[in-house]
Structure 1
Amino acid sequence: MTWRWRYENANGGEVTEGTLPREIFPSQADAESWLGENWKTLLEAGVEKVTLLEGETVEYAGMSLRVE
């Protein structure tokens, strides 16, 4: 199975505009490590939240990129 991030705006709608990376990962750990290295870039590009998908199954949803 493959893992990927879905990028979302503050209302939970999918962000598809721009040149956002569309990475595919072989494991959950790889996806999470990548996000740890790239979350600031995504936030600067207008992504507010992310959802982690394994195939089309949601692992977890609506994780904010904002540090509170």
Structure 2
Amino acid sequence: MTTPATGWTWRLHGPDGGVVDPADLGVEVPVEEAQADAESWLGEHWRTLLERGAASATLLRGDTVVYGPMGLAAT
């Protein structure tokens, strides 16, 4: 599935900073129509992502990095 040019989604990274395929973690990262929806999704799922091996996430709009990577571990 390709990411629509205006869709908002997350790129997941492992502890080494490398990109992690969400399928390898047993999750599907949705493509949202709004930034707030994408951020809400991460807010609801960050613990699961962290438990399954993701260490950080980068917000994308289409293929453009909006911000990140940001750590998923609570500080």
Q: TM-score, normalised by structure 2?
A: 0.84
Gaps in structure 1 of 5+ consecutive residues: none
1:15 maps to a residue whose letter is V
Q: Percent identity?
A: 46
Aligned to 1:45: 52
Q: Which runs of 4+ in 1 moved over 6 A?
A: none
Structure 1 segment 29-68 matched on structure 2, within 5 A: 29-68=36-75
Matched residue count:
68
Aligned to 1:2: 7
1:4 maps to a residue whose letter is T
1:14 maps to a residue whose letter is V
- Out of 13, 19, 36, the position equivalent to 2:18 is 13
Q: Report the 3-state secondary structure (helix = DSSP H, G, I; strand = E; otherwise coil) of the residue aligned with 1:67.
A: coil
Q: TM-score, normalised by structure 1?
A: 0.92
